[in-house]
Amino acid sequence: MNLWNFKAKFYSSIRSLPLLKKLVDREIEGLKALVNKNLSDPMEMLDIGTGTGMVQRIVSENTCIFGIDKSLKMIEKNVGKNLFIKIVGEACHLPIKNNTFSLVSAIGLTEYISDKDLFLQEIKRVLLPEGYFLVTIAPPSPLNKIRNLLGNRIYAVKAEKWETLTGKKGFICIEQTQSLLQVQYLLRLKKLGVKSYGS
């Protein structure tokens, strides 16, 4: 059984608890600031691990979101004002053509992916040249250890290691922020001949 199909029943209720809601709202504020400061209004984007559609709170209502998640039950909970195309699929094997989107997001997802190299290769494949990648990572921390104890298999990664890995894959960091649980990045595929960190 897909664990996320089970979690879908109470996912939104848990995230609306006062403390969690405050954490989530703060994370959304940071991500929204990254988008508003650095990007013009994208018309189409891909949101990987879309869940219940939180990304709709980060981008404008004019954005057409293609939301992909491996849990059909999570996607069914997804409602909002954006035009939302819902796709069931795996983050490391995206059913998307090469060079399709100018913006790809993965919010609260990377910590559930063990093969980050393969994941980044897929992001690079579906992005247009010089496309943007809005992503969060969960660095090692006591709170993330607690998440492991609560039944979530978390593959935490240190920011330095993530930055080296993304640099080797051809991304440059436009800007980053940090919340209690996440480091938030707006990355961009670099132009040919431009050096990035980790390269």
Helical pair 116-126 and 159-168, crossing angle rounded to 10 deg? 50
- Lowest-confidence pick of 22-31, 71-80, 99-108: 71-80
Mean pLDDT of 43-65: 91
d(CA 74, CA 91): 15
The predicted pLDDT at position 195 comes to 53
pLDDT one-digit tens code per residue, 135-187? 999 998 877 777 666 667 889 999 999 999 999 999 999 999 998 889 999 99
All residues at 6 or more sequence positions from 13 whose CB lies less than 8 Å from its CB, including other chains: none
CB 2 within 8 A of CB 70: yes
d(CA 194, CA 19): 43
d(CA 14, CA 99): 37
Q: Report which of 75, 59, 67 is spatially closest to residue 91, judged by C-alpha positions.
A: 67
The predicted pLDDT at position 50 comes to 93
Cβ-count burial 16-28 (b if 16+ within 10 Å, e if not): eeeeeeebbeebb
Per-residue confidence band for 196, with pLDDT thresholds at 50, 70 and 90: very low
The predicted pLDDT at position 35 comes to 94
More confident residue, 195 or 98: 98
Instruction: For residue 50, give the 3-state DSSP assignment.
Output: coil
Residue 199 pLDDT > 50, yes or no?
no
Which two three-digit tokens encode residue 192? 């040919």
The Cβ-side half-sphere exposure at 135, using a 13 Å CA radius, reads 27
pLDDT one-digit tens code per residue, 17-42? 676 678 888 899 999 999 999 998 77
- CATH, range 3-12+22-189: 3.40.50.150
CB 181 within 8 A of CB 143: yes
Element (H, E) at 178: strand 171-178
The predicted pLDDT at position 1 comes to 44
Which two three-digit tokens encode residue 81? 């004002």
